[in-house]
A and B are shown apart, each in its own frame.
Chain A
């Protein structure tokens, strides 16, 4: 069954460092998303991406965050200068359809970011 793959599975970084989390969405999917889950809290929407541009973003997704689809397969989340509160599990997701249909999101296994 097609799956969304994320790398790395776990990254430890120092505060202030840049981090790039990588995702390979399902090949025929057109919509891509990043969510995050701070330990013990709910899964929160960060950003959605379609047709090489951000289609929607939450208040969490400030200027420290950026997303990119550098080639035909990867979808990346960059955090420019990490803060302690960025420590979380980051989930990538993709979907085939956009605003039509039930739009099932398929999630990756997540990348755990620990900021020291």
Chain B
């Protein structure tokens, strides 16, 4: 069965520091992978997606993620955290042929001034 695992339910970084949010997937075939962000009291917003066109995917707000098949990972990074990045981040997977997404448990990012 397809699933994603997000290591660390809570990550704190200082403003200006590197952001690294981890996501590992389990799938026998390379899936489509997504990162969504949820700001307080808002819905889920797509940050970026992996569709096999390129292993390094750039998203909005300076975020990027790299698909590593050997590690079955799709970690989200941002070189320099901003206060406005504080939110909940969800990794999600969709298998080819499936219509729905399966989400990880989410990682809450706190940015310390």
Contact = CB atoms under 8 A, between A and B. Distances in A.
B94 A103 contact: yes
B90 interface: yes
Given A42-B106, A43-B90, A102 B49 contact: yes
Decide if the interface of chain A is mainly helix, strand, loop or mixed. Answer: strand
Contact of A55 (B49, B99, B105): B99
A104 B48 CA distance: 10
A108 B101 contact: no
Interface stretch (B20-28, B38-46, B60-68, B79-87): B38-46
- The size bracket of the interface on B is 20 to 34
A102 B99 contact: no
Contact of B43 (A48, A50, A104, A108): A108
Contact of B101 (A50, A55, A101, A105): A105
